[in-house]
Chains A and B, each alone.
Chain A
Amino acid sequence: MKVTTFLSFILVLTLGWMQFYAAVRERFNGVQELRTQAELVKKQNERRELDVALDREQFLEFRQSVATLMPEALKEKGLGEEGYPFRSLASTITRSEVMEVKKTIAKTLFERGKSYFRGREYAKAIKTFKQVIDRFGFSTQVAEAYFLMAESQFQENELEECTTTIQQMVELFPQHELTGFSLIRLGRIYEIQNRNEEAIDIYRTVMRSYPQRDVASQAKASMRGLDQ
């Protein structure tokens, strides 16, 4: 009994001593102080972020409230040279119609390309159509841009590039009428390269796959030309 009591006393003493040692060590080695400081900085940082978020919210509210007043202000003061600051302000605070603007830019660029094509400035036309394809791939003019780019490349005697463009058209717009016309152009390229059998294959494919009358009759005419 005495031994057990003694052992318990020793255990309690050891635990107490360990606890005391740990407390003293933490108190005097500076780790606790640094930890407290880090915690404080973290809290300050969180507080600052919160303040920034609240300020941003107030700014957003102000901006939206101003936006509701703009239509009336623009009607009264938004015209002419003097109205420029109002128009400028309106453009920064109201919801931007980005997609509409992009569509318009795509259309303008495409029309410019077409005008170069009509004026036989094929190098410029290729560059412009490439811009339409790369920057406005979503636009409705993109199939036509591919077609006119292939035609421009053919006119510029860039036969390899023209072939690549036509292949892209086949992959992207397999059913499109213009792809049929481009394939006829591909047949013509094969003819130039004395690959007549491949050209005939292409014309037959076009006649089989493209029900549009113009495409089929053009393919038939090209084949007849080759037979003679």
Chain B
Amino acid sequence: MSPARSMLILTLFFLDVRVRADNKSEVDCWGKEIPCAIQAFGRKRELKAGDDLTLVLADGALVQQRDRMTVQLIDGRFYVEVKKPIVFNTPYATLTCVNECKALIDRKEKEISVKALEGEWNLRRLGDRRSYTLAAGFHLTVGEVETNGLAYMEFPQSLVWASTILEWSKMYPKSVELFKSDATRFRSNWKEAVESAAAVHEKVAARAVASHEEGLAQERARRKAVEKEEAGLRELFRKKNGIDP
């Protein structure tokens, strides 16, 4: 071995030792302890539980695994891929996957917003016994409990294509090729969601118009009745006072 080569190997050895010492990873409880809280610092972070759950935390996001089947989403933005009925819990609603699901979830202090990308999600808001189905391509926001004892829930809306794809691409943990195939699948889901949302909105608008027209008809009938009563009273007044009409 030439002296120059030995010197290079020696230098690389020292360099390697120093880099390893600086990047010493922190102790991680995910998959080892329960409960386990994890926060992403400085960059996004991917957590896995076998093939059944992939959870990507954006920078600053905080999550806690409370038991084997319950994950508490505490703060920040998440990307979830799940194949079994794991419960995603928040103070405002719980979210479970019916079949294989993907979603982007944004947890803020006073609300949680869910963007369903694939599969069918089951959502139950706090205070409500019913649960609601959120299909892929839809977006739903649930907020604090209101005076009626139920958590505030918006009407589901179809997702906005461009911003959703951009957000998803930033959080996506796998290769570009896989993202392309997932996005293609999402495109058809999204189209269906837009069409069905449009149909639902049309129905709601038609119902609102019908109810408004019904209200107007009732008002007209009420006025007519009042006028009739007043005319009767005037007639009576004239008769009693002997006034000619």
Interface residues of A (CB under 8 A from B): 4-5, 7-8, 11-12, 15, 19, 43, 46, 50, 53-54, 57, 60-61, 63-65, 67-72, 90, 93-95, 97
Docked-complex contact B147 and A50, CB < 8 angstroms? no
CB contacts (< 8 Å) of A5 on chain B: these are 3
Docked-complex contact B143 and A4, CB < 8 angstroms? no
CB contacts (< 8 Å) of B72 on chain A: these are 57
- For A5, the closest partner residue in chain B by CB is B3
Cα of A67 to Cα of B151 in the assembled complex, Å? 9
Cα of A63 to Cα of B126 in the assembled complex, Å? 11
Q: Does B14 sit within 8 A of A, measured CB to CB? A: yes
CB contacts (< 8 Å) of A46 on chain B: these are 39, 41
Count contacts on B: residues with CB < 8 A to the other chain: 30
Cα of A54 to Cα of B66 in the assembled complex, Å? 11
Docked-complex contact A67 and B14, CB < 8 angstroms? no
Give the interface centre of A15, A63, A64, A72 by most chain B CB atoms within 10 Å.
A64
Shortest Cβ gap from B47 to chain A (Å): 15
Cα of A63 to Cα of B11 in the assembled complex, Å? 60
Docked-complex contact A72 and B144, CB < 8 angstroms? no
Docked-complex contact A53 and B14, CB < 8 angstroms? no
What are 27 residue pairs bridging A and B, where the CB atoms are less than 8 Å apart in the complex? A5-B3, A15-B11, A19-B14, A43-B26, A46-B39, A57-B64, A57-B72, A57-B91, A60-B91, A60-B109, A64-B144, A64-B145, A65-B126, A67-B127, A67-B144, A67-B149, A69-B149, A70-B147, A70-B149, A71-B148, A90-B147, A93-B145, A94-B144, A95-B144, A95-B145, A95-B147, A95-B152
Interface residues of B (CB under 8 A from A): 3, 6-7, 10-11, 14, 26, 37, 39, 41, 62, 64, 72, 74-75, 91-92, 109, 126-127, 143-152
Shortest Cβ gap from B207 to chain A (Å): 24
Cα of A46 to Cα of B74 in the assembled complex, Å? 16
Give the interface centre of A68, A94, A97 by most chain B CB atoms within 10 Å.
A68
Contact of A95 among B37, B75, B109, B146 (CB under 8 A): B146
Cα of A64 to Cα of B94 in the assembled complex, Å? 13
Contact of A53 among B3, B74, B145, B147 (CB under 8 A): B74
Cα of A93 to Cα of B3 in the assembled complex, Å? 76
Shortest Cβ gap from B105 to chain A (Å): 15
